């Protein structure tokens, strides 16, 4: 990718914690970083390829945050993939049959060519529902064809009015179809939130993460919500086991899981999560606290699920990553004299490698004099931002899978930092995918490499 985009990166990776029990998995970020560095170093022999660093590349593993994949994320995109039966970005709706028969199924794609999806995907579900209502009301009041649909009173229509209505019909049909689709989706999501009691569960999850809830609240919830969805109880106990691993030692955890009526397989998933508790880079109990409110106030709550990831990217932007935790291959190669002049350049400029938004790519970088060829997942593909005024790109690659909350952070920080933040990963996981991965970890592995368990390929 860096060859195609004509980028020569500072290559950084999260180093494994020193331990006698280090496993092969612990070394994967460093091995990937070494492989990337070796390749891009060779690319400097390609004509017109940058000879000095033009972007940042940070390689992480899933140890960066194990709570993010299972906690309930309240944005429209995350809720769609968490609560609805979707196949990738495909959603199936029922449409009236043209022949007058039973409704027919139709596949629709929630992707970039849908302007409503683009606007709402990273918005809290409460705010998304409110915006959809406003859009429907505004559209109905301004579109001629919509007005005709509302006022079929049999009165005569002038030729001029009829012409305006005919002109408005294609746009009316297209926009109304999109709006009706998302009104249906948001309605289903809100119904599930209500029927599954997700507001109370979401609050408990947040309280557990921030240290404001413990065994008493967990037991009370499980006793009060005996018929709750099994996966929701599993996810809540996974969070509890990660934040308070000591509460699952001995038979305490077993009794709690029995109260939740978890299966043997689900119990093993919780135990695996407990084993991961010592491996995460993220603090288990952040100090920032907040409350989930759904009633009359607009909700703009993003929670812990991106807190540490966002902080990492902001540190990259400022050039403030701890060098003992995040190793720079450029600097290491320069010290060993392994890559010649390019490595020296990397060493010289590492201290300000993550400079703020005002930094621009060096004049010799292709980035400063080309029209970017954005990929399908590029943040800037649909953003109202001028690439010429953007700082150097930040690439983040997560081994073991990324979450939709982390994808949202990249979109948000691209605008905030005026630097395109590009997320790459081995997979984009929804909670069910992550739970499946965790269930596949064998007991011998967890027993021998507990705190380093980790990659979850």
Residue 341 has pLDDT above 60, yes or no: no
Question: What tokens does 330 get?
Answer: 């450029």
Backbone conformation region of residue 362, classed left if phi is above 0, alpha if psi is from -120 to 50, else beta: beta
Straight-line distance from the first to the last Cα atom of the chain, in angstroms, rounded to the nearest whole number: 21
Q: What is the pLDDT of residues 421-440, one digit of tens each?
A: 999 999 999 999 999 999 98
Residue 297 has pLDDT above 70, yes or no: no
* 107 confidence band (pLDDT: 50, 70, 90): very high
Please check whether residues 32 and 167 belong to one and the same domain.
no
The upper half-sphere exposure of residue 235, i.e. CA atoms within 13 Å in the direction of its Cβ, equals 26
CA-to-CA distance for 301 and 121, rounded, in angstroms?
15
Report the mean per-residue pLDDT for the chain: 78
Residue with tokens 């959603």: 91
Of 90-94, 314-318, 388-392, give the range with the top mean pLDDT. Answer: 314-318
Residue 418's alpha-carbon distances to 135, 267, 268, 373, 396, in angstroms, are 29, 45, 44, 18, 16
Residue 305 has pLDDT above 70, yes or no: no
Residue 218 has pLDDT above 50, yes or no: yes
CATH number of the domain within which 179 lies: 3.90.830.10
Question: What tokens does 438 get?
Answer: 């965790």
Q: Are 441 and 270 in contact (CB under 8 A)?
A: no
Q: What is the pLDDT of residues 140-192, one digit of tens each?
A: 776 655 555 555 555 554 556 545 555 555 676 788 889 889 999 999 999 99
Tell which of 195, 218, 252 closes a domain: 195
Per-residue DSSP letter, 231? H
The pLDDT of 208-226, averaged and rounded, is 93
CATH number of the domain within which 418 lies: 3.40.50
* 137 confidence band (pLDDT: 50, 70, 90): confident
How many Cβ atoms sit within 10 Å of the Cβ of residue 50? 24
Residue 373 has pLDDT above 50, yes or no: no
- pLDDT at residue 345, rounded to an integer: 38
Residue 319 has pLDDT above 50, yes or no: yes
Crossing angle of helices 215-224/252-259, nearest 10°? 30
Beta-bridge partners for 412: none
Residue 26's alpha-carbon distances to 297, 312, 395, 398, 456, in angstroms, are 45, 19, 21, 13, 12
Does residue 283 lie within any of the structural domains?
A: no
Residue 214 has pLDDT above 80, yes or no: yes
* Better pLDDT: 334 or 20: 334
Does residue 21 lie within any of the structural domains?
A: yes
Tell which of 244, 278, 312 closes a domain: 278
Residue 419's alpha-carbon distances to 306, 336, 383, in angstroms, are 18, 31, 12
Please check whether residues 50 and 93 belong to one and the same domain.
no
Please check whether residues 15 and 146 belong to one and the same domain.
no
Please check whether residues 446 and 332 belong to one and the same domain.
yes
* 385 confidence band (pLDDT: 50, 70, 90): low
Please check whether residues 55 and 81 belong to one and the same domain.
no
176: phi then psi, degrees, rounded to nearest 5: -60, -35
Reference 72, options 211, 233, 187, 216; nearest CA is: 233
- pLDDT at residue 294, rounded to an integer: 41
- In this prediction the pTM is 0.78
Percent of the chain predicted with pLDDT > 70:
69
* 3 confidence band (pLDDT: 50, 70, 90): low
Beta strands across the sheet bearing 326-328: 326-328, 9-14, 55-61, 394-399, 421-425
Residue 443 has pLDDT above 60, yes or no: no
Residue 351 has pLDDT above 50, yes or no: no
Of 5-9, 45-49, 276-280, 405-409, give the range with the top mean pLDDT. Answer: 405-409
* 138 confidence band (pLDDT: 50, 70, 90): confident
Does residue 285 lie within any of the structural domains?
A: no
Tell which of 195, 213, 244 closes a domain: 195
Look at strands 55-61 and 394-399 and give their pairing.
parallel
- pLDDT at residue 136, rounded to an integer: 85
Does residue 1 lie within any of the structural domains?
A: no
- pLDDT at residue 296, rounded to an integer: 36
Q: Are 90 and 108 in contact (CB under 8 A)?
A: yes
The pLDDT of 190-213, averaged and rounded, is 93
- pLDDT at residue 169, rounded to an integer: 56
Please check whether residues 326 and 446 belong to one and the same domain.
yes
CA-to-CA distance for 70 and 159, rounded, in angstroms?
59
Query: 215 CB contacts (<8 Å, ≥6 apart)?
Result: 244, 247, 256
The boundaries of the domain holding residue 219 are 198-278
- pLDDT at residue 228, rounded to an integer: 87
Please check whether residues 346 and 242 belong to one and the same domain.
no
Residue 374 has pLDDT above 50, yes or no: no
36: phi then psi, degrees, rounded to nearest 5: -65, -45
Q: Are 394 and 421 in contact (CB under 8 A)?
A: yes
Count of domains for the chain? 3
Percent of the chain predicted with pLDDT > 90:
50
* 342 confidence band (pLDDT: 50, 70, 90): very low
Lowest-confidence region among 15-24, 255-264, 293-302: 293-302
Please check whether residues 264 and 321 belong to one and the same domain.
no
Q: What is the secondary structure of 304-342 as a DSSP string? A: GGGHHHHHHHHHHHHT---TTTEEEHHHHHHHHT-SHHH
């Amino acid at each position: 990718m860096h060859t195609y985009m004509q980028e020569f990166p500072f290559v950084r990776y999260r180093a494994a914690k020193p331990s006698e029990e280090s496993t092969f998995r612990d070394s994967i970020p460093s091995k990937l970083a070494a492989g990337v560095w070796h390749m891009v170093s060779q690319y400097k022999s390609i004509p017109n390829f940058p000879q000095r660093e033009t972007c940042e590349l940070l390689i992480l593993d899933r140890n960066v945050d194990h709570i993010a994949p299972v906690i309930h994320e309240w944005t429209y995109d995350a809720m769609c993939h968490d609560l609805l039966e979707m196949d990738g970005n495909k959603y199936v709706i029922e449409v009236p049959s043209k022949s007058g028969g039973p409704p027919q199924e139709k596949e629709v794609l929630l992707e970039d060519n849908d302007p409503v999806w683009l606007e709402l995907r990273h918005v809290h579900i409460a705010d998304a529902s409110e915006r959809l209502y406003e859009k429907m009301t505004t559209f109905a009041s301004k579109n001629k064809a919509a007005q005709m649909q509302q006022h079929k009173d049999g009165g005569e229509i002038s030729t001029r009015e009829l012409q305006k209505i005919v002109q408005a019909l294609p746009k009316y049909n297209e926009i109304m179809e999109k709006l009706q689709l998302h009104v249906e989706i948001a309605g289903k999501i809100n119904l599930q939130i209500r029927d599954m009691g997700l507001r109370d569960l979401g609050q408990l999850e947040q309280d557990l993460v921030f240290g404001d809830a413990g065994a008493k609240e967990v037991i009370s919830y499980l006793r009060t919500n005996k018929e709750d969805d099994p996966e929701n109880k599993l996810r809540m106990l996974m969070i509890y086991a990660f934040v308070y691993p000591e509460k699952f030692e001995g038979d305490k955890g077993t009794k709690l899981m029995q109260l939740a009526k978890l299966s043997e397989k689900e119990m093993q998933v919780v135990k695996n999560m407990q084993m991961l508790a010592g491996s995460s880079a993220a603090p288990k109990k952040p100090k920032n606290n907040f409350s989930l409110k759904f009633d009359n106030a607009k909700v703009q709550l993003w929670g812990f699920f991106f807190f540490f990831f966002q902080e990492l990217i902001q540190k990259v932007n400022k050039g403030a990553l701890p060098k003992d935790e995040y190793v720079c291959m450029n600097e290491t190669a320069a010290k060993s004299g392994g890559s010649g002049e390019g490595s020296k350049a990397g060493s010289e400029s590492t201290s300000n490698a993550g400079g703020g938004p005002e930094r621009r790519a060096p004049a010799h970088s292709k980035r400063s004099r080309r029209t970017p060829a954005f990929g399908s997942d590029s943040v800037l593909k649909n953003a109202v931002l001028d690439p010429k005024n953007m700082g150097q790109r930040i690439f983040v690659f997560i081994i073991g899978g990324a979450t939709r909350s982390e994808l949202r952070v990249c979109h948000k920080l691209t605008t905030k930092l005026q630097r395109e933040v590009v997320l790459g990963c081995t997979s984009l996981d929804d909670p069910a995918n992550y739970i499946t991965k965790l269930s596949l970890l064998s007991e011998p592995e967890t027993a021998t490499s507990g705190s380093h368990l980790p990659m979850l390929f």
